Amino acid sequence: MKQKVVIRVNLNNGKKNARTKALRIAVGVQGVESVSLQGEDSSQIVVVGNDIDSVHLTSLLRKKVGSAELMSLSPISYEGDKHNGIQPMVWPAYQASVPYYYTYDVPDNNQDSCTIM
């Protein structure tokens, strides 16, 4: 399930490269697809991905960057993709086999009169 997580982080706390560090931490979490900064002073990190552990992400940001607060967690659903009018083509499942070889006798017109040879 796709999720959108918004976390407010204090990036102006005097630490150098706090913004870069926060973005690297957010990208390193499993399931993250995109990370961006939002807000009037770019203090909110917006993370979009599949099955993101938002509590783990927030605690990592608290440990490494400074104060972090989980603002919102919302699922993302795409209604247009469900019913677009195209039905998938379904093929029956069967096991392919080797074709049969037909045997037949070839008549021989050259009959020998001698049966010993």
Nearest to 18 by CA among 80, 67, 75: 67
Q: Please indicate, yes or no, if residue 106 is contained in any of the structural domains.
A: no
Sole residue written with tokens 């796709």: 2
Q: In terms of Cα–Cα distance, which of 30, 26, 71 is closest to 51?
A: 30
Q: Are 6 and 45 in contact (CB under 8 A)?
A: yes
Supply the DSSP symbol for 95: -
- The angle formed by the CA atoms of residues 112, 113 and 115, to the nearest 5 degrees, is 85
Position 28 in a domain? yes
Residue 44 lies in a domain: yes
Instruction: Write out the two tokens for 31.
Output: 């399931």
* CATH classification at residue 52: 3.30.70.100
The total number of structural domains in the chain stands at: 1
Nearest to 4, CA basis, from 43, 57, 79: 57
Look up the domain containing 55 and give its range: 2-75
pTM as predicted: 0.64
40-to-19, 37, 44, 72 alpha-carbon distances in Å: 15, 10, 9, 17
Per-residue pLDDT of the chain (117 residues; tens, 9 = 90+): 899 999 999 887 777 788 899 999 999 999 999 999 998 888 899 999 999 999 999 999 999 988 999 999 999 886 655 666 777 778 777 777 777 888 887 777 776 666 665
